[in-house]
Amino acid sequence: MRQVSFNVVERSGGSSAEVVEVNRLTIAGWAGRDQAAIEHHIAELAELGVKRPSTTPCFYRLGAELLTQAEQIGVVGVKSSGEAECVLVRANSGLLVTVGSDHTDREVEAYGVTVSKQVCPKPVARDAWRFEDVSGHWDQLELRAYAVANGARRVYQQGSVASLLPAADLLERAPLAQGAAMFCGTLTVQGGIVGMTDGEALELELHDPVLNRTLRHAYRVRALAVVE
C-alpha cells in the first residue's frame, strides 16, 4: 500500500487536498487504438530484445508501493527510461486523473516485461483533476514529455490521448476498486527509447485545451552503480 496526497484542482479553479491509500496498481500496456502505432511501439521494444505481447491491450499488476511523488528516483544502472501516461486513481471522493511516468528498466524488459516494470519507481504528479471534469472531452487531452540532459531539453513524447484507448474502455476491461490506480498507456517516443543516465530528467505534462489547464511533474534519475 502507498499513501499519496493530491491537490485536486477543480473545474471552477479552486482546489482541495485529498489523501489516497493506494492498494492496487495496474499498468495498461499496448493500449493504443491504432494497430499500426502499436506495431511501431512493439518494433521499438523489439530492438531492445522485448518479446511481442500475447494480447493487446494487457494489464500488468504491480506493487502499489512503487508509486512516488518524489522529484528524484533511484534506479540501477543506466538502462531505464520513463513514459508519460494519464493515471487514474479511485479516491474516496471519486475518480481522479493525473499524469505519471511508467519508468521501466529496458535491460530487464528483454527478460520479462512485468519484472522490468516492478523494479522501477512510478512517479506521479501532486496535482490532479476530477475525471468527471474531463471525461466529456477526454480525446482532446494532450500528453507531453521532455527529456532533459546536460542542460538541453528536447521533446520526448507528444500527442493526443485520442491515439490511445479511451479511459472508459480501459475501466470497463479493468475496473478500479476503491484505492486502485491505473496507468493508461503511452505514446511513441521521438528519437527512439534511450536509457537515462545519472542526473538526467523527464518532464511530464497533461494538457487540457478545453479548460486551458495543465498538470505537470518532473523527476530526475539517480543511477546507482551496478555491483557484480
Percentage of the chain beyond pLDDT 70 is 99
Q: What is the pLDDT of residue 196?
A: 95
Residue 222 has pLDDT above 80, yes or no: yes
Residue 194 has pLDDT above 90, yes or no: no
- The whole domain housing 206 covers 2-224
Mean per-residue pLDDT for 191-202?
92
How many CA atoms, within 13 angstroms, populate the side-chain half-sphere of residue 27? 28
In this prediction the pTM is: 0.94
CATH of residue 86's domain is: 3.90.850.10
3-state SS track over 41-85:
HHHHHHCCCCCCCCCCCEEEEECHHHEECCCEEEEECCCEECCEE
Q: What is the pLDDT of residue 30?
A: 86
Mean per-residue pLDDT for 113-141?
97
- Residue 127's nearest CA partner among 11, 215, 68, 14 is 215
Residue 224 has pLDDT above 90, yes or no: yes
Structural domain tally of the chain? 1
Task: Give the residue ranges of DSSP H helices in the chain.
Answer: 35-46, 106-109, 113-118, 131-134, 167-173
Pair 70, 101: CB distance under 8 Å? no
Whole-number Å distance between alpha carbons of 145 and 189? 9
Mean pLDDT in the chain? 94
Residue 228 has pLDDT above 90, yes or no: no
Mean per-residue pLDDT for 102-118?
92
Percentage of the chain beyond pLDDT 90 is 80
Indicate the pLDDT class of residue 46, thresholds 50, 70 and 90.
confident
- Summarised one tens digit per residue, pLDDT across range 48-99 is 777 788 788 999 999 999 999 999 999 999 999 999 999 999 999 999 999 9
Residues ≥6 apart with Cβ < 8 Å to 183: 25, 26, 27, 28, 85, 86, 87, 100, 102, 122
